[in-house]
Amino acid sequence: MLKIDSILALSVADACNNLYGSKPEPKQISVQSTRSEFEGDRTVVVFPFTRLSGKSPELTGEQIGMYLVKNDDNITNFQIVKGFLNLSVSDNYWAKALNDAVAEKECFGLQAAKSKPQVMVEYSSPNTNKPLHLGHLRNNFLGYSVSEILKAAGHDVIKVQIINDRGIHICKSMVAWKLFGNNETPTSTGEKGDKLVGRYYVAFDKAYKKEVAEIISTGKDEETAKSEAPILLAARDLLHKWEAGDSEVRTLWSTMNRWVYDGFESTYKEMGVDFDKLYYESDTYLIGKSLVKKGLADGVFTQREDSSIWVDLSDVGLDEKLLLRKDGTAVYMTQDIGTAILRFEDYPSLDRQVYTVGNEQEYHFKVLFEILSKLGFPQASRCHHLSYGMVELPEGKMKSREGTVVDADDLLLEMRTSAAQLASEAGKLDNIPPSERDNLYKKVGYGALKYFLLKVDPRKSMMFDPAGSIDFIGNTGPYIQFNYVRARSVLRNAGIEDVSTLVTPSTVHLDNTERNLLMTALSLPTIIEEAARSYDPSLVANLCYDITKSYSRWYQDHPILKEEDSDLRIARLALCSLCSQAIKTGMGLLGVDMPENM
């Protein structure tokens, strides 16, 4: 809520109390932007107050408007449009609001750090059998941005990932490397470790399909062929040996996982994301098994005749869920139970966990949260699955085992290259020293990618368009960056080193365009709060675009450095500074770096 909205809400409540002898409930007072076709800055919805006045909406609005003009120095005029009271806010107020906002600089009125409950955000959480891909980029950028937005809203945030480092998928890469690898390593090949391991995951699938086809050719049905393929049996054998603690298998597992971890770390650094703590499935699944057995002893879970352990969630509209197989081995849910409870133990002040995972796992997390509740964790009802849609490609769905994914490292390189080419073609490199150009290409290329993936509501699936994402026109990261640089250039050309020293005179008049631009920029803290509540960075992204678009139009029509009225020139420089502050703050919450030259 804008500060003026809070002020007006109090004034309206006071008006009703003095005029009608009773105050409306705070939730009944709605203040919003006045539509552009009407006179005024802020609009109050009058209909809820007619119960107090006993009069028509028009007459009620007329009485409240007259009271406000007489008793509130912030209001200079009003207009009634049916049941809506349009209020004109004084020049004095807008000058003070502009001065206060500019003086706050980078803080921009955001909440004090750690003033709200502690929240843990999980994101990335890859399997160690393949490199990161385009889907991981949306996951990482989304989880990181939500973490930064929650911090800006005042929460103490812990950023984590669970590394899925065990299971049959890991063993598939291992057995393929044993069969076809000739002992090659990242060092011997010069290949990133995650790519090397991922290559053998693809090699497994190719060999598996070949074996299945050969078995089918002998007359066996497809289902039998799939279960009898020698390479799959070899992978299952490795899994059993791993769970039994076989030293040779464990050594190979540790070695190949380390190759992958090193590769991941390199990609994360390039992406600009980080984590406060790492969890490993190979550790937490054991905790989950012990908790399931304890839950069985406490009567929370049940055991069937074949010794498998289940939870019955029919009382909350869900199905029965397997927690431990009849042979005592764990399922994914077992691991997630162990991970969740371990995190609550690691962080006793933890209020809730936010899981950044694709929408195909929605049922899984409903089950997980209900199990945590049955195990007696009060935080379970506050845990949240940040469900997001898939990133689609024109060629169809990505498949890691078939090698049809868009590799994250390759895409980052493509974005850097595209940024360099675009900058060169647009003639924007003349004032950029060669030593600074690579850094600029990263800021523009990666900024384009991050903004493109975050400007869409997380719940929606999206089509990735590399060329469209890096355009300097339209709702793109480079468009926002370019206008930010232009605003900073205006301030530099004005010779202003400390914008907080700018003091807009109280008598200066801002026209409707300038007031609307000011109100849009001042809405950033409100949007951050809303984005934190809904875990939706697209709200911040699109506000940055709205500010930029409005600023660009205002910049074209309103001279700044050539303005002859000195008071108005100061006000416009302050507004220019405020917009650049708002854009930099908002884009920073998306993980986008803003260049100072472009």
38 and 178 together in one domain: no
Amino acid in position 233:
L
Q: What's the pLDDT at 395?
A: 59
Q: 520 to each of 153, 497, 545, 570, 578, how far by Cα in Å?
A: 18, 25, 11, 19, 11
pLDDT at residue 442 tops 50: yes
**CB pairs under 8 A, 24+ apart, for 363-370?**
363/318, 364/332, 364/333, 364/336, 366/318, 367/313, 367/318, 367/321, 367/333, 368/333, 368/336, 368/337, 368/340, 370/313, 370/316, 370/318
Q: What's the pLDDT at 107?
A: 52
Left, alpha or beta for 48 (phi > 0: left; psi -120 to 50: alpha)?
A: alpha
Q: What's the pLDDT at 32?
A: 94
Residues of the chain with pLDDT > 90, as a percent, come to 83
Q: Is residue 283 part of a domain?
A: no
Q: 457 to each of 58, 332, 449, 454, 549, how far by Cα in Å?
A: 39, 28, 15, 7, 20
The rounded Cα 18 to chain-centroid distance in angstroms is: 46
467 and 566 together in one domain: yes
Amino acid in position 353:
Q
For residue 51, give every residue at least 6 positions away whose Cβ sits within 8 Å of its Cβ, in sequence order, or none. none
| Integer-rounded Cα radius of gyration of the chain | 29
Domain hosting residue 43, numbered range: 3-89
pLDDT band, very low/low/confident/very high, at 597 (cuts 50, 70, 90): confident
Last residue of a domain, one of 258, 273, 288: 273
pLDDT at residue 105 tops 60: no
Read off the pLDDT of residues 295-320 as tens digits, 9 standing for 90 and up. Answer: 999 999 999 999 999 999 999 999 99
Q: What's the pLDDT at 499?
A: 74
441 and 564 together in one domain: yes
CA-to-CA distance for 425 and 419, rounded, in angstroms? 10
Q: Is residue 337 part of a domain?
A: no
pLDDT band, very low/low/confident/very high, at 465 (cuts 50, 70, 90): confident
Q: Is residue 363 part of a domain?
A: no
More confident residue, 496 or 454: 454
Residue the block writes with tokens 């989304």: 142
Question: Encoding tokens for residue 509?
Answer: 């008049």
pLDDT at residue 396 tops 80: no
CA-to-CA distance for 291 and 274, rounded, in angstroms? 30
435 and 528 together in one domain: yes
Q: What's the pLDDT at 312?
A: 96
177 and 65 together in one domain: no
Query: Phi and psi of 358, rounded to 5°?
Result: -55, 160
Read off the pLDDT of residues 126-146 as tens digits, 9 standing for 90 and up. Answer: 999 989 999 899 999 999 999
Q: What's the pLDDT at 502?
A: 80
More confident residue, 393 or 155: 155
Last residue of a domain, one of 89, 118, 145: 89
pLDDT band, very low/low/confident/very high, at 258 (cuts 50, 70, 90): very high
562 and 419 together in one domain: yes
Average pLDDT value over all residues in the chain:
92
Q: What's the pLDDT at 400?
A: 42
Question: Encoding tokens for residue 85?
Answer: 């009271």
Q: What's the pLDDT at 497?
A: 75
Q: Is residue 383 part of a domain?
A: no
Last residue of a domain, one of 222, 241, 273: 273
More confident residue, 432 or 523: 523
Identify the weakest region by mean pLDDT among 313-327, 388-402, 443-457: 388-402
For residue 308, give every residue at least 6 positions away whose Cβ sits within 8 Å of its Cβ, in sequence order, or none. 322, 324, 325, 326
Q: Is residue 181 part of a domain?
A: yes
pLDDT at residue 95 tops 80: yes
DSSP state string for 127-185: BTTS--BHHHHHHHHHHHHHHHHHHHTTEEEEEEEEEB--SHHHHHHHHHHHHH-TT--
Q: Is residue 202 part of a domain?
A: yes
pLDDT band, very low/low/confident/very high, at 44 (cuts 50, 70, 90): very high
Q: Is residue 126 part of a domain?
A: no
Q: What's the pLDDT at 393?
A: 67
More confident residue, 433 or 24: 24
CA quadruple 103, 109, 115, 116: dihedral, nearest 10:
-170
Q: Is residue 340 part of a domain?
A: no
Question: Encoding tokens for residue 35?
Answer: 């539509």
pLDDT at residue 403 tops 50: no
pLDDT band, very low/low/confident/very high, at 167 (cuts 50, 70, 90): confident
Read off the pLDDT of residues 349-392 as tens digits, 9 standing for 90 and up. Answer: 999 999 999 999 999 999 999 999 999 988 999 999 999 998 87
pLDDT at residue 238 tops 50: yes
CA-to-CA distance for 354 and 310, rounded, in angstroms? 25
Task: Compute the 3-state secondary structure of the chain and give helix, strand, coil in percent, each to the nearest 5.
Answer: 60, 15, 30
3-state secondary structure 505-569: CCCCCCCHHHHHHHHHHHCHHHHHHHHHHHCCCHHHHHHHHHHHHHHHHHHHHCCCCCCCCHHHH
Lay out the sheet containing 84-89: strands in order across.
31-33, 42-45, 84-89, 75-81
109, 366 Cβ separation under 8 angstroms: no
53 and 201 together in one domain: no
Q: What's the pLDDT at 464?
A: 83
Q: What's the pLDDT at 392?
A: 78
561 and 447 together in one domain: yes
Where residue 566 sits, what CATH number does that domain have? 1.10.730.10
What length does the chain have? 598
Q: What is the mean pLDDT of residues 256-279?
A: 97
Total structural domains in the chain?
3
Identify the weakest region by mean pLDDT among 184-193, 387-396, 548-557, 561-570: 387-396
Where residue 83 sits, what CATH number does that domain have? 3.30.1360.70
Q: What's the pLDDT at 23?
A: 95
Query: Which residues on neighbouring strands pair with residue 42, listed in sequence order?
Result: 33, 87
- Give the single-character DSSP code of 277: E
68 and 170 together in one domain: no
